Amino acid sequence: MRYQLVIFDWDGTLMDSESRIVACMQAAAQDIGWDPLGADEVRDIIGLGLPEAIARLCPGIEGERAQRLRECYAERFVAADRIPMAFFPGVETGVARLRANPRLQLAVATGKSRRGLDRVFMANGSGDWFHASRTADETRSKPHPQMLEELLSECGVDVEQALMVGDTEYDLAMARAVGMDRVAVTYGVHAPERLAAYEPVFSADRFSELVDWLHD
């Protein structure tokens, strides 16, 4: 194994949550009377922290209305959680293969809130898969590299022995900023050509391809 720490994005990399995020954000905008949001607009901000996503989606939105949009989105998303979201094919078996290596640590770096990540950890028992995690509301949002710096420190791993895996340019830009190797997964929200601009060391069309590559 060439790495001691593999850090995963969550939405669009491990979990197939794109359609739910889009639908909940569009509904929340309607709830507060904001202009309709296009699906492509919402897809483009998946991976950012919620305040940063709203600022990009709704330029000029005032603070009180932005807060209301955040609340409505959270309400919509929690309500939708009655129907569990699925992991992408191969994630559960692939992570199990990685966890079998006692010299490898796994972590999560996500634009979700801590409450949101913990909720999904509890819903499917996946919290035990990871040695550490960072969310956008407890550090700086992607693409700033602070969450990666904190994970490196917590796990006691040098940046040269760590890898970031993500489906958006925010993930890869964050890793590049700190000098970390990065893998692009092309089944998520950003197009492969956008991801290629950040010079990933590998691109995977399926999660199983990533796991096989890590074991080479």
- Residue 185: left (phi > 0), alpha (psi -120 to 50), or beta? beta
Contacts of 84 (CB under 8 A, 6+ apart): 123, 124
Distance CA 17, CA 167 (A): 12
Indicate if 11 belongs to the active site. yes
Rounded Cα gap, residues 52 and 113, in angstroms: 12
Unique residue bearing structure tokens 């999660």: 207
d(CA 20, CA 80): 8
**Percent of the chain that is helix, strand, coil (3-state, to 5):** 50, 15, 35
- Which residue among the candidates 9, 167, 171, 181 is catalytic per the annotation? 9
Tally of CB atoms within 10 A around 92? 15
CB 153 within 8 A of CB 183: no
- The sign of the torsion formed by the CA atoms of 195, 196, 199, 201 equals positive
Residue numbers annotated as active site: 9, 11
